[in-house]
Chain A
Protein backbone atom coordinates (compact mmCIF):
# COMPACT_ATOMS: atom_id res chain seq x y z
CA UNK A 1 0.00 0.00 0.00
CA UNK A 2 2.93 2.33 0.59
CA UNK A 3 3.47 2.50 -3.16
CA UNK A 4 0.13 4.28 -3.53
CA UNK A 5 1.19 6.85 -0.96
CA UNK A 6 4.52 7.41 -2.69
CA UNK A 7 2.66 7.65 -5.99
CA UNK A 8 0.58 10.43 -4.45
CA UNK A 9 3.70 12.12 -3.08
CA UNK A 10 5.35 12.00 -6.47
CA UNK A 11 2.23 13.20 -8.27
CA UNK A 12 2.12 16.32 -6.10
CA UNK A 13 5.86 16.83 -6.06
CA UNK A 14 7.38 20.21 -6.73
CA UNK A 15 9.22 20.71 -10.01
CA UNK A 16 12.48 21.24 -8.16
CA UNK A 17 11.86 17.99 -6.32
CA UNK A 18 11.24 16.17 -9.55
CA UNK A 19 14.56 17.33 -10.94
CA UNK A 20 16.34 15.80 -7.97
CA UNK A 21 14.58 12.48 -8.44
CA UNK A 22 16.52 9.92 -10.37
CA UNK A 23 13.52 7.65 -10.94
CA UNK A 24 10.45 9.75 -11.71
CA UNK A 25 7.02 8.17 -11.97
CA UNK A 26 5.45 5.55 -9.76
CA UNK A 27 7.85 3.36 -7.83
CA UNK A 28 7.88 -0.38 -8.47
CA UNK A 29 5.18 -2.43 -6.75
CA UNK A 30 6.11 -3.56 -3.27
CA UNK A 31 5.08 -6.42 -1.08
CA UNK A 32 4.22 -3.99 1.70
CA UNK A 33 0.54 -4.82 1.79
CA UNK A 34 -0.50 -3.03 4.97
CA UNK A 35 0.14 0.61 5.79
CA UNK A 36 -0.80 2.60 8.88
CA UNK A 37 -1.13 6.35 8.55
CA UNK A 38 -0.29 8.02 11.88
CA UNK A 39 -0.77 11.66 12.68
CA UNK A 40 -1.89 14.25 15.19
CA UNK A 41 -5.63 14.66 15.48
CA UNK A 42 -5.20 18.17 14.14
CA UNK A 43 -3.99 16.80 10.83
CA UNK A 44 -6.16 17.76 7.91
CA UNK A 45 -8.02 14.57 8.34
CA UNK A 46 -7.98 11.93 5.68
CA UNK A 47 -6.31 14.06 3.01
CA UNK A 48 -3.54 11.55 2.38
CA UNK A 49 -5.92 8.67 2.83
CA UNK A 50 -8.27 10.17 0.28
CA UNK A 51 -5.43 10.82 -2.13
CA UNK A 52 -4.06 7.31 -1.79
CA UNK A 53 -7.49 5.74 -2.20
CA UNK A 54 -8.06 7.83 -5.30
CA UNK A 55 -4.68 6.75 -6.67
CA UNK A 56 -5.49 3.12 -5.94
CA UNK A 57 -8.90 3.42 -7.53
CA UNK A 58 -7.51 5.06 -10.66
CA UNK A 59 -5.13 2.12 -10.93
CA UNK A 60 -8.15 -0.20 -11.07
CA UNK A 61 -8.29 -1.39 -7.49
CA UNK A 62 -11.64 -2.42 -6.03
CA UNK A 63 -12.17 -0.97 -2.59
CA UNK A 64 -14.00 -1.75 0.60
CA UNK A 65 -14.00 1.12 3.04
CA UNK A 66 -15.39 0.70 6.55
CA UNK A 67 -15.50 4.27 7.80
CA UNK A 68 -17.19 6.30 10.46
CA UNK A 69 -16.45 9.70 8.95
CA UNK A 70 -18.34 11.61 6.31
CA UNK A 71 -15.50 13.31 4.52
CA UNK A 72 -15.28 11.25 1.36
CA UNK A 73 -18.39 12.24 -0.56
CA UNK A 74 -16.72 13.63 -3.64
CA UNK A 75 -15.09 10.65 -5.24
CA UNK A 76 -15.04 10.51 -8.99
CA UNK A 77 -14.86 6.77 -8.77
CA UNK A 78 -17.62 5.96 -6.33
CA UNK A 79 -18.78 2.96 -8.28
CA UNK A 80 -15.60 1.12 -7.38
CA UNK A 81 -15.95 1.73 -3.67
CA UNK A 82 -18.14 -0.04 -1.16
CA UNK A 83 -18.73 2.17 1.88
CA UNK A 84 -19.77 0.87 5.24
CA UNK A 85 -20.27 2.64 8.53
CA UNK A 86 -19.74 0.47 11.60
CA UNK A 87 -20.43 2.32 14.83
CA UNK A 88 -18.41 0.18 17.20
CA UNK A 89 -15.32 -1.97 17.02
CA UNK A 90 -17.55 -5.04 17.37
CA UNK A 91 -19.50 -4.01 14.26
CA UNK A 92 -16.26 -3.31 12.42
CA UNK A 93 -14.89 -6.74 13.35
CA UNK A 94 -18.11 -8.37 12.17
CA UNK A 95 -18.10 -6.53 8.85
CA UNK A 96 -14.47 -7.39 8.13
CA UNK A 97 -14.97 -11.00 9.24
CA UNK A 98 -17.94 -11.39 6.88
CA UNK A 99 -16.14 -10.14 3.78
CA UNK A 100 -15.09 -13.66 2.77
CA UNK A 101 -18.74 -14.77 2.57
CA UNK A 102 -19.38 -12.90 -0.70
CA UNK A 103 -16.71 -14.55 -2.82
CA UNK A 104 -19.02 -14.70 -5.86
CA UNK A 105 -18.47 -10.97 -6.32
CA UNK A 106 -15.15 -9.40 -7.21
CA UNK A 107 -13.01 -9.52 -4.09
CA UNK A 108 -11.72 -6.20 -2.75
CA UNK A 109 -8.15 -5.32 -3.55
CA UNK A 110 -7.94 -2.55 -0.98
CA UNK A 111 -9.54 -2.28 2.44
CA UNK A 112 -9.42 1.15 4.06
CA UNK A 113 -10.22 1.88 7.69
CA UNK A 114 -10.18 5.56 8.53
CA UNK A 115 -9.81 6.61 12.16
CA UNK A 116 -8.82 3.45 14.02
CA UNK A 117 -8.64 5.52 17.19
CA UNK A 118 -12.39 6.04 17.14
CA UNK A 119 -12.83 2.28 17.40
CA UNK A 120 -9.93 1.44 19.68
CA UNK A 121 -9.40 4.33 22.08
CA UNK A 122 -12.26 5.00 24.43
CA UNK A 123 -11.78 7.77 27.02
CA UNK A 124 -9.84 6.52 30.05
CA UNK A 125 -7.71 3.43 30.33
CA UNK A 126 -9.10 0.08 29.31
CA UNK A 127 -7.06 -3.06 29.93
CA UNK A 128 -8.37 -4.82 26.83
CA UNK A 129 -7.52 -2.07 24.35
CA UNK A 130 -4.24 -3.55 23.17
CA UNK A 131 -5.72 -6.98 22.67
CA UNK A 132 -8.63 -5.49 20.77
CA UNK A 133 -6.24 -3.50 18.57
CA UNK A 134 -4.26 -6.67 17.90
CA UNK A 135 -7.44 -8.58 17.06
CA UNK A 136 -8.66 -5.94 14.61
CA UNK A 137 -5.23 -5.56 12.99
CA UNK A 138 -4.72 -9.31 12.72
CA UNK A 139 -8.19 -9.78 11.23
CA UNK A 140 -7.53 -7.07 8.65
CA UNK A 141 -4.17 -8.59 7.70
CA UNK A 142 -5.55 -12.13 7.58
CA UNK A 143 -8.47 -10.96 5.44
CA UNK A 144 -6.08 -9.22 3.04
CA UNK A 145 -3.98 -12.39 2.83
CA UNK A 146 -7.10 -14.43 2.07
CA UNK A 147 -8.26 -12.08 -0.70
CA UNK A 148 -4.74 -11.96 -2.14
CA UNK A 149 -4.95 -15.74 -2.52
CA UNK A 150 -8.42 -15.50 -4.09
CA UNK A 151 -7.28 -12.79 -6.51
CA UNK A 152 -4.21 -14.85 -7.47
CA UNK A 153 -6.41 -17.88 -8.11
CA UNK A 154 -8.60 -15.83 -10.45
CA UNK A 155 -5.69 -14.20 -12.22
CA UNK A 156 -2.05 -14.94 -11.61
CA UNK A 157 -1.14 -11.36 -12.50
CA UNK A 158 -3.45 -9.82 -9.90
CA UNK A 159 -2.04 -7.32 -7.43
CA UNK A 160 -2.33 -8.31 -3.76
CA UNK A 161 -5.17 -7.10 -1.56
CA UNK A 162 -3.89 -4.25 0.59
CA UNK A 163 -4.81 -2.58 3.86
CA UNK A 164 -4.67 1.14 4.53
CA UNK A 165 -5.65 2.39 7.97
CA UNK A 166 -5.24 5.67 9.78
CA UNK A 167 -4.70 6.41 13.45
CA UNK A 168 -4.82 9.93 14.87
CA UNK A 169 -4.16 11.05 18.41
CA UNK A 170 -4.18 14.22 20.49
CA UNK A 171 -0.74 13.52 21.86
CA UNK A 172 2.73 13.57 20.41
CA UNK A 173 4.52 10.21 20.49
CA UNK A 174 7.26 10.09 23.11
CA UNK A 175 5.57 12.39 25.65
CA UNK A 176 5.83 11.24 29.24
CA UNK A 177 2.22 11.62 30.34
CA UNK A 178 -0.19 8.76 30.70
CA UNK A 179 -2.25 9.46 27.63
CA UNK A 180 0.85 9.63 25.43
CA UNK A 181 2.19 6.37 26.82
CA UNK A 182 -1.18 4.75 26.14
CA UNK A 183 -0.95 6.00 22.55
CA UNK A 184 2.59 4.65 22.23
CA UNK A 185 1.47 1.28 23.60
CA UNK A 186 -1.35 1.20 21.05
CA UNK A 187 1.02 2.10 18.20
CA UNK A 188 3.44 -0.62 19.32
CA UNK A 189 0.64 -3.15 18.92
CA UNK A 190 -0.42 -1.77 15.52
CA UNK A 191 3.20 -1.80 14.31
CA UNK A 192 3.27 -5.56 14.89
CA UNK A 193 0.74 -6.03 12.13
CA UNK A 194 1.16 -3.11 9.71
CA UNK A 195 4.25 -3.43 7.56
CA UNK A 196 4.65 0.27 6.88
CA UNK A 197 3.92 3.25 9.11
CA UNK A 198 3.47 6.64 7.48
CA UNK A 199 3.89 9.27 10.21
CA UNK A 200 2.73 12.86 9.71
CA UNK A 201 4.48 15.35 11.98
CA UNK A 202 3.77 19.07 11.77
CA UNK A 203 6.79 21.37 11.81
CA UNK A 204 5.93 24.19 14.21
CA UNK A 205 9.28 25.97 13.82
CA UNK A 206 10.00 29.21 12.02
CA UNK A 207 10.99 27.51 8.78
CA UNK A 208 7.45 27.22 7.51
CA UNK A 209 6.53 30.84 8.22
CA UNK A 210 9.82 32.06 6.80
CA UNK A 211 9.17 30.16 3.60
CA UNK A 212 5.72 31.70 3.29
CA UNK A 213 3.97 28.42 3.99
CA UNK A 214 0.75 27.99 5.89
CA UNK A 215 1.86 24.61 7.19
CA UNK A 216 4.84 22.33 6.86
CA UNK A 217 4.58 18.60 7.58
CA UNK A 218 7.24 15.94 7.78
CA UNK A 219 6.11 12.62 6.34
CA UNK A 220 8.11 9.59 7.45
CA UNK A 221 7.76 6.10 6.00
CA UNK A 222 9.04 3.43 8.37
CA UNK A 223 8.57 -0.22 9.25
CA UNK A 224 9.74 -3.58 8.00
CA UNK A 225 7.93 -3.06 4.69
CA UNK A 226 10.12 -0.10 3.79
CA UNK A 227 13.40 -0.83 2.09
CA UNK A 228 15.61 1.26 -0.13
CA UNK A 229 14.91 -0.94 -3.12
CA UNK A 230 11.16 -0.94 -2.69
CA UNK A 231 10.54 2.73 -2.13
CA UNK A 232 13.35 4.17 -4.20
CA UNK A 233 15.32 5.00 -1.07
CA UNK A 234 12.85 7.73 -0.11
CA UNK A 235 11.64 7.38 3.44
CA UNK A 236 11.12 11.01 4.34
CA UNK A 237 9.05 13.63 2.56
CA UNK A 238 7.85 17.12 3.32
CA UNK A 239 4.27 18.23 2.76
CA UNK A 240 4.07 21.93 2.02
CA UNK A 241 0.69 23.64 2.43
CA UNK A 242 0.54 27.08 0.81
CA UNK A 243 -1.71 29.98 1.87
CA UNK A 244 -3.86 29.50 -1.25
CA UNK A 245 -4.60 25.94 -0.15
CA UNK A 246 -2.43 24.15 -2.68
CA UNK A 247 -0.20 21.34 -1.46
CA UNK A 248 3.12 20.05 -2.64
CA UNK A 249 5.34 17.15 -1.64
CA UNK A 250 9.08 17.43 -1.48
CA UNK A 251 11.52 14.58 -1.29
CA UNK A 252 13.95 14.94 1.63
Chain B
Protein backbone atom coordinates (compact mmCIF):
# COMPACT_ATOMS: atom_id res chain seq x y z
CA UNK B 1 0.00 0.00 0.00
CA UNK B 2 1.25 3.43 -0.87
CA UNK B 3 -0.13 6.71 0.37
CA UNK B 4 0.14 9.35 -2.28
CA UNK B 5 -0.90 12.90 -2.90
CA UNK B 6 -4.28 13.22 -4.66
CA UNK B 7 -4.19 14.66 -8.14
CA UNK B 8 -4.46 18.40 -8.22
CA UNK B 9 -2.71 19.10 -4.94
CA UNK B 10 -0.15 21.84 -4.89
CA UNK B 11 2.87 21.48 -2.70
CA UNK B 12 3.76 24.79 -1.13
CA UNK B 13 6.40 25.72 1.35
CA UNK B 14 5.83 28.95 3.09
CA UNK B 15 8.13 31.79 4.02
CA UNK B 16 7.74 33.47 7.36
CA UNK B 17 9.27 33.86 10.75
CA UNK B 18 9.55 30.12 11.21
CA UNK B 19 9.17 29.26 7.55
CA UNK B 20 5.80 27.71 8.41
CA UNK B 21 7.60 24.98 10.31
CA UNK B 22 6.46 23.60 13.61
CA UNK B 23 9.44 23.18 15.90
CA UNK B 24 9.90 19.55 16.73
CA UNK B 25 9.60 18.34 20.33
CA UNK B 26 9.51 14.69 19.37
CA UNK B 27 11.73 11.74 20.22
CA UNK B 28 14.49 11.03 17.68
CA UNK B 29 12.67 8.02 16.24
CA UNK B 30 9.63 10.16 15.38
CA UNK B 31 11.79 12.86 13.84
CA UNK B 32 13.52 10.21 11.73
CA UNK B 33 10.15 8.97 10.46
CA UNK B 34 9.24 12.49 9.33
CA UNK B 35 12.64 12.97 7.69
CA UNK B 36 12.18 9.71 5.80
CA UNK B 37 8.66 10.69 4.77
CA UNK B 38 9.89 14.06 3.53
CA UNK B 39 12.74 12.54 1.53
CA UNK B 40 10.65 9.78 0.01
CA UNK B 41 7.70 12.03 -0.73
CA UNK B 42 9.89 14.60 -2.47
CA UNK B 43 11.24 11.89 -4.75
CA UNK B 44 8.10 9.84 -5.40
CA UNK B 45 5.08 11.80 -4.06
CA UNK B 46 4.19 8.62 -2.23
CA UNK B 47 4.59 7.20 1.26
CA UNK B 48 5.59 3.53 1.10
CA UNK B 49 4.25 0.79 3.35
CA UNK B 50 7.23 0.60 5.65
CA UNK B 51 6.95 4.28 6.54
CA UNK B 52 3.19 4.01 7.07
CA UNK B 53 3.81 1.09 9.43
CA UNK B 54 6.50 3.09 11.23
CA UNK B 55 4.12 6.04 11.52
CA UNK B 56 1.41 3.78 12.98
CA UNK B 57 3.91 2.14 15.32
CA UNK B 58 5.17 5.46 16.72
CA UNK B 59 1.91 7.40 16.89
CA UNK B 60 -0.73 4.67 17.21
CA UNK B 61 -4.27 4.93 15.87
CA UNK B 62 -4.16 8.70 15.37
CA UNK B 63 -1.69 8.19 12.49
CA UNK B 64 -4.43 7.08 10.08
CA UNK B 65 -6.76 9.83 11.28
CA UNK B 66 -3.99 12.36 10.69
CA UNK B 67 -3.42 11.02 7.17
CA UNK B 68 -7.13 11.54 6.54
CA UNK B 69 -6.75 15.18 7.59
CA UNK B 70 -3.77 15.56 5.24
CA UNK B 71 -5.83 13.97 2.48
CA UNK B 72 -8.57 16.54 3.07
CA UNK B 73 -6.07 19.43 3.00
CA UNK B 74 -7.08 20.34 6.52
CA UNK B 75 -3.89 22.09 7.65
CA UNK B 76 -3.40 25.80 7.01
CA UNK B 77 -0.49 27.95 8.09
CA UNK B 78 -1.86 31.35 9.08
CA UNK B 79 0.38 34.40 9.05
CA UNK B 80 -0.26 38.00 10.01
CA UNK B 81 1.54 41.24 9.06
CA UNK B 82 3.46 41.21 12.36
CA UNK B 83 5.12 37.99 11.25
CA UNK B 84 3.27 35.86 13.78
CA UNK B 85 2.26 32.44 12.54
CA UNK B 86 0.00 29.64 13.73
CA UNK B 87 -1.45 26.47 12.29
CA UNK B 88 -5.15 25.92 11.90
CA UNK B 89 -6.46 22.39 11.44
CA UNK B 90 -10.00 21.58 10.42
CA UNK B 91 -11.19 18.52 12.33
CA UNK B 92 -13.45 15.83 11.00
CA UNK B 93 -16.50 17.61 12.43
CA UNK B 94 -15.59 20.84 10.69
CA UNK B 95 -14.37 22.53 13.85
CA UNK B 96 -11.16 24.55 13.54
CA UNK B 97 -8.29 23.96 15.97
CA UNK B 98 -5.48 26.49 16.35
CA UNK B 99 -2.07 24.96 17.06
CA UNK B 100 1.11 26.84 17.91
CA UNK B 101 4.22 26.92 15.78
CA UNK B 102 6.83 26.50 18.49
CA UNK B 103 5.31 24.00 20.91
CA UNK B 104 2.70 21.28 21.14
CA UNK B 105 -0.77 22.47 22.05
CA UNK B 106 -4.15 21.71 20.56
CA UNK B 107 -7.51 22.68 22.07
CA UNK B 108 -9.09 19.36 21.02
CA UNK B 109 -10.48 16.94 23.66
CA UNK B 110 -8.05 14.17 22.63
CA UNK B 111 -5.03 16.34 23.40
CA UNK B 112 -6.49 17.31 26.79
CA UNK B 113 -7.33 13.74 27.74
CA UNK B 114 -4.75 11.48 26.07
CA UNK B 115 -1.71 13.74 26.09
CA UNK B 116 -2.17 16.09 29.05
CA UNK B 117 -4.25 14.06 31.48
CA UNK B 118 -3.26 10.45 30.85
CA UNK B 119 0.15 11.12 29.33
CA UNK B 120 -0.46 8.23 26.93
CA UNK B 121 0.26 9.87 23.61
CA UNK B 122 2.86 12.17 22.13
CA UNK B 123 0.33 14.33 20.33
CA UNK B 124 -3.16 14.40 18.82
CA UNK B 125 -4.15 13.77 15.21
CA UNK B 126 -4.30 17.50 14.49
CA UNK B 127 -0.69 18.19 15.50
CA UNK B 128 0.43 15.01 13.74
CA UNK B 129 -1.34 16.24 10.61
CA UNK B 130 0.66 19.48 10.86
CA UNK B 131 3.93 17.52 11.00
CA UNK B 132 2.87 15.34 8.06
CA UNK B 133 1.80 18.32 5.95
CA UNK B 134 5.14 19.97 6.61
CA UNK B 135 7.05 16.84 5.67
CA UNK B 136 5.01 16.48 2.48
CA UNK B 137 4.94 20.19 1.66
CA UNK B 138 1.15 20.32 1.38
CA UNK B 139 0.36 22.95 4.02
CA UNK B 140 -2.12 25.55 2.83
CA UNK B 141 -1.37 29.20 3.46
CA UNK B 142 -3.60 32.05 4.49
CA UNK B 143 -3.04 35.62 5.59
CA UNK B 144 -4.98 37.13 8.47
CA UNK B 145 -4.87 40.50 10.19
CA UNK B 146 -2.92 40.96 13.41
CA UNK B 147 -6.18 41.29 15.32
CA UNK B 148 -7.54 38.08 13.83
CA UNK B 149 -4.29 36.33 14.73
CA UNK B 150 -4.60 37.54 18.34
CA UNK B 151 -8.15 36.23 18.53
CA UNK B 152 -7.03 32.85 17.24
CA UNK B 153 -4.03 32.64 19.57
CA UNK B 154 -6.01 33.38 22.70
CA UNK B 155 -8.58 30.77 21.79
CA UNK B 156 -11.61 32.99 21.44
CA UNK B 157 -12.14 31.81 17.89
CA UNK B 158 -11.86 28.15 18.97
CA UNK B 159 -14.42 28.74 21.69
CA UNK B 160 -16.80 30.37 19.26
CA UNK B 161 -16.43 27.65 16.61
Q: Which residues of A contact B (CB under 8 A)?
A: 90, 93-94, 96-98, 100-101, 103, 128, 130-131, 134-135, 137-139, 141-142, 145-146, 149-150, 185, 188-189, 192-193
Contact = CB atoms under 8 A, between A and B. Distances in A.
Contacts of B155: 93, 135
A189 B147 CA distance: 28
Nearest to A130: B116
Interface residues of B, number: 29
Contacts of A185: 117
Interface in B79-105: 80, 82-84, 86, 100-105
A236 B17 CA distance: 37
A138 B105 contact: yes
Classify the interface of chain B: helix, strand, loop or mixed.
loop
Contacts of A146: 17, 83-84, 102
B153 interface: yes
B24 interface: no
A-B pairs, 9 with minimum CB distance = A138-B105, A97-B154, A145-B102, A97-B153, A131-B112, A93-B154, A142-B100, A100-B84, A97-B150
B25 to A, nearest CB: 9
A108 to B, nearest CB: 14
A130 B107 CA distance: 11
Contacts of A188: 119
A150 B83 contact: yes
B84 to A, nearest CB: 4
B149 interface: yes
Interface in B31-67: none
A130 B84 contact: no
B12 interface: no
Nearest to B84: A100
Contacts of B83: 100, 103, 146, 149-150
A141 B102 contact: yes
Contacts of B112: 128, 130-131, 134
Given A90-B154, A130-B112, A192-B116, 20 more contacts: A93-B153, A93-B154, A97-B150, A97-B151, A97-B153, A97-B154, A98-B154, A101-B82, A130-B117, A134-B111, A134-B116, A135-B107, A139-B100, A139-B105, A142-B101, A145-B18, A145-B101, A145-B102, A146-B83, A150-B17
B82 A134 contact: no
Contact of B116 (A90, A94, A100, A189): A189
A224 to B, nearest CB: 10
A90 B158 CA distance: 13
